[in-house]
Amino acid sequence: MQKSKALIHTSDYVLDEAYTLLKMRDSHVTAVKFMEQMDKCSINILRVTEDIEKHAKDIFKRFDDKKLSFTDCASFALINQFRIDAVFAFDEHFRYHPYVHSVTVLHTHT
């Protein structure tokens, strides 16, 4: 029996947040090093298109959860669009979001 490898995805919006957080909490050098490593790795970066952005806006408008960021909504839209079946998230609302298909959420508490 052959083992299959998991495909790891992130989005350009999540990377935007990560680069900014690293720069603000550590340094520009750290953020650039991380950026360069991301450019070399095999993680698939999903891009937020106009259509995905429209869906993200629809999600954002429907939910008034103060902890739900627009990046989270873009992630939900990408998960739905690409039918991603498992998600690793730090935010609890990824567990409770009403996806259009079955999604397993691997969660860690912050």
Contact 109, 97 (CB under 8 A): no
Residue 31 in domain: yes
CATH number at residue 24: 3.40.50.1010
- CA 45 to chain CA mean position, Å: 9
Q: What is the DSSP letter of 7?
A: P
Contact 73, 53 (CB under 8 A): no
Residue 1 in domain: no
Residue 103 in domain: no
Domain that holds residue 20: 9-84
Look at 16-25, 45-54, 98-107 and tell me which has the smallest mean pLDDT. 98-107
Residue 60 in domain: yes
Is the whole model's pTM more than 0.75, yes or no?
A: yes
Number of domains in the chain: 1
Q: Note the pLDDT tens digit of each residue in 1-28.
A: 566 677 899 999 999 999 999 999 999 9
pLDDT at site 50: 98
Residue 72 in domain: yes
For the segment 37-53, the average pLDDT, to the nearest whole number, is: 96
**Which neighbouring-strand residues pair with 86?**
104
Residue 89 in domain: no
Rounded mean pLDDT of the chain? 90
The encoded tokens of residue 50 equal 């106009």
d(CA 87, CA 72): 12
Residue 99 in domain: no
